[in-house]
Amino acid sequence: MKKFRRVKKVFKFFVFFLVFLVVGFFGLILYIKMSPKLEIKSANAFLMYDSTNELFFQGSGSQEWVPLDNISENVIMATINTEDKHFYKHFGFDPLRIVKALFVNITSGETKQGASTISQQYAKNLFLDFDKTWERKLEELWLTLKLEVGYSKDEILEGYLNTINYGHGMYGIENAAQFYFDKDAKDLTLAEAALLVGIPKSPSNYSPLVNYELSKQRQVNILYSLYQNEKITEDEYNQAVNEELHIVGEKNYQDLSTIMYYQDAVMKELKSLKQIPDSYLETGGIRIYTNLDMNAQRILEESVKNNMDTDKELQVASVMMDPNTGKILALVGGKDYSSSQYNRAYQSTRQVGSTMKPLLYYAALENGFTSSTTFMSSETTFTFSNNKTYSPQNYGGQYGNKPISLATAISYSDNVYAVKTHMFLGEDALVDISRRLGITATLEEVPSLPLGTASINIIEMTAAYAAFANEGYKVDGHLISRVEDLKGNVLYEKKIEKENILNKSLTFILSDLLTSTYDSTFIDYNYPTAIGIAPKIKHKLALKSGTTDTDHWSIGYNGELVTAVWVGYDDNRSIEAADYKYSRNIWVDAMEGCLEGHEDSWYKQPSNVVGVLVNPITGKPATESDEHKRIMYYVRGTEPSSTDPVFDEIMENN
């Protein structure tokens, strides 16, 4: 009897719970019906244009929306069979498919199957990013229900086919049909439709322009599934498999595998603009005019591909900027967007190594240093209060054990010289100049700061060097020049504001000093740090590299262009000495590629600056016995003499 009562209670609870779910579900549906419908034809229509106003990216919106009646039945049949066989039977979610996917994934230990329906994919493509969080899943569920309640199945399918990504910037079946086959979507054959339907799963892999064999293999699999499910006959299957495809889409800038890094960075910047209402960020419907220079982007990507070892996990980030405006012309956030969407150009900060030294040396020039200012190059231990010591080491243990000039210290990237300068000026000097140049990262006033122990974002570092490149003006690195709504109303326009923060004469001197990094006249007890790429350098360029155990940088410029390259591992493991070549070669190939055919964009010598022929190692005026001589520059009245003291001696006397 007690057992019967217990069963009865459980049964009542189950019935109550079931009624509660049913009432709750229908209440939810009623609430959705009373709410405003989702606007799907303009949702997430983010149109991005490059610096020549050519469209290079389109969000989930479509250039041309075609009704379902104008889409080939072959496309509709193949899409439903491939993506969501029970599309017309479920209410946005396919329980059987979810259970099957869970079983397959759990038993295999891998994520081999997905369970998203067409409605779920459409909701995600329209309104969500691709974060795999529970919050995003709940949003996806809610938006899927709103789609199912607000629109018919045909309307959902029509919207889905007009907004999915078919690769190469082609969103929507009509654009894809025109791009790949030069025909309307309504005229696609079964073979053509199956090929296009296979692309959205992975556009970077299944595009016939990227890998025809792989795209053809997927097309055959889709056709075979149609045959197995009795959607087509055996004759139709064989005919479609053997049909010769005439693909007319040409490889163009849309094929750049890294261009999505630029697009992601644009979206991040867009979200930071207070002038853009939240409603536009949520639903789209805007045109974004960017500073993307497609030629520069192509050259930068080719430089990465030609120099990076694809078999290594070593990663890369690079930024190319117009130093006179702060416009970011090209950006790479990794080796390949299809394998890693983590954007190292704006999402990461890394130790900058000796690329920090030019900031220190500008501060030194402001405080009386010259190109010939000398410190002893020898192993040095610094002792501080509480008997704390610090012993910086030069790379490879190379020391001249003699006085060397500032120019030589830059050429060899001498760490001891940098720390001596840092301590001589005061540990606050480097922090102060960094803040003046726009660096916002945490910087500690410690002896090792000039050796690049601080972690800084590559865009900030590029903008800091831009102030050297433009002869003293602080610029704001940015990707967006203007934003309009779809009616052409301007919502935002970037105003180029340049603040004069540096002395033109001193930036001229510093820029010249930074050409010493690949100048053979500095070969003595050591070699210039970038001497290996000297044969590739055709234009006069300033350059500084930076090395830590985990990072390698190359940043350089002329009056026209500034480029920064970082190479390292995402997990901060140590990089090998042989890996240092990557950033330098990417940098020089990108710079020279962009400047090919351009005259030298170097700097006019200021009237208060004089050139003096000196021994570059000692910084003293050159004599007939000097094997190496070079003209170096000085503010008038600070030219070197043969009797100038070594700064170590000045400090000792004080």
pLDDT digits (tens, 9 = 90+) for 614-625: 999 999 999 999
Percentage of residues of the chain with pLDDT beyond 90: 58
pLDDT at 42 over 60: no
Q: For the segment 103-127, what is each residue's pLDDT rounded down to a tens digit? A: 444 555 554 445 578 877 777 766 5
* Residue 313: closest CA among 327, 295, 292, 334: 334
Phi, psi for 105 (deg, rounded to 5): -70, -40
pLDDT at 368 over 90: yes
- 403-426 mean pLDDT: 95
pTM for the predicted model, two decimal places: 0.74
The better pLDDT of the pair 606, 151 is held by 606
- Cβ atoms of 617 and 404 within 8 Å: the answer is yes
The better pLDDT of the pair 312, 301 is held by 301
At 253 the pLDDT is: 40
| Cα atoms in the Cβ-side hemisphere of radius 13 Å centred on 360 | 31
- 561-589 mean pLDDT: 94
In angstroms, rounded to a whole number, what is the distance separating the alpha carbons of residues 454 and 439? 11
At 252 the pLDDT is: 44
* Residue 81: closest CA among 139, 137, 157: 157
At 95 the pLDDT is: 58
In angstroms, rounded to a whole number, what is the distance separating the alpha carbons of residues 654 and 643? 19
- 25-38 mean pLDDT: 56
At 87 the pLDDT is: 83
In angstroms, rounded to a whole number, what is the distance separating the alpha carbons of residues 344 and 349? 8
At 217 the pLDDT is: 95
Residue 52 CB coordination number (10 Å): 10
- 457-467 mean pLDDT: 98
- 317-327 mean pLDDT: 98
How does residue 295 score in pLDDT terms, banded at 50, 70 and 90? very high
Tokens 């005019």 appear where? 289
Task: Please give the helix or strand (H or E) that residue 81 lies within, else none.
Answer: helix 73-83
At 71 the pLDDT is: 95
In angstroms, rounded to a whole number, what is the distance separating the alpha carbons of residues 202 and 196? 11
The better pLDDT of the pair 425, 129 is held by 425
In angstroms, rounded to a whole number, what is the distance separating the alpha carbons of residues 17 and 13? 6
User: From the candidates 83, 140, 174, 471, which is the catalytic residue?
Assistant: 83
pLDDT at 514 over 90: yes
Percentage of residues of the chain with pLDDT beyond 70: 81
Q: For the segment 121-141, what is each residue's pLDDT rounded down to a tens digit? A: 777 766 544 444 555 566 666
Mean pLDDT lowest among 383-387, 510-514, 554-558, 570-574: 383-387
- Amino acid identity of 365? L
Q: Does the annotation count 158 as an active-site position?
A: no
- 222-235 mean pLDDT: 94
- Cβ atoms of 51 and 292 within 8 Å: the answer is yes
DSSP conformation letters of 489-550: -EEEE-----EE-S-HHHHHHHHHHGGGGG-GGG-SSS--TTGGGGGG--S--EEEEEE-SS
pLDDT at 536 over 70: yes
- 136-157 mean pLDDT: 72
User: From the candidates 318, 354, 481, 554, which is the catalytic residue?
Assistant: 354
- Rounded to 10 degrees, the C-alpha dihedral 58/59/63/67 comes to 160
At 148 the pLDDT is: 72
- 377-398 mean pLDDT: 81
Question: Across the chain, what does the average pLDDT equal?
Answer: 85
How does residue 263 score in pLDDT terms, banded at 50, 70 and 90? confident
Q: For the segment 80-93, what is each residue's pLDDT rounded down to a tens digit? A: 999 888 888 875 55
Torsional class of 44: left (φ above 0), alpha (ψ -120 to 50), beta (otherwise): left
In angstroms, rounded to a whole number, what is the distance separating the alpha carbons of residues 198 and 178? 17
Q: Is 634 helix (H, G, I), strand (E, B) or coil?
A: strand
At 22 the pLDDT is: 55
- Cβ atoms of 178 and 184 within 8 Å: the answer is yes
Residue 70 CB coordination number (10 Å): 14
How does residue 280 score in pLDDT terms, banded at 50, 70 and 90? low
Residue 311 CB coordination number (10 Å): 6
At 193 the pLDDT is: 93
- Cβ atoms of 565 and 541 within 8 Å: the answer is no
- 622-637 mean pLDDT: 94
At 259 the pLDDT is: 83
pLDDT at 473 over 70: yes
Q: Does the annotation count 155 as an active-site position?
A: no
- 482-490 mean pLDDT: 89
Enumerate domains of the chain plus CATH numbers: 66-255 (1.10.3810.10), 350-487+494-602 (3.40.710.10)
Mean pLDDT lowest among 243-247, 284-288, 322-326: 284-288
Q: Which two tokens stand for residue 158?
A: 């029509």
pLDDT at 612 over 50: yes
How does residue 150 score in pLDDT terms, banded at 50, 70 and 90? low
Angle, vertex CA 215, rays to CA 76 and CA 97, nearest 5: 50
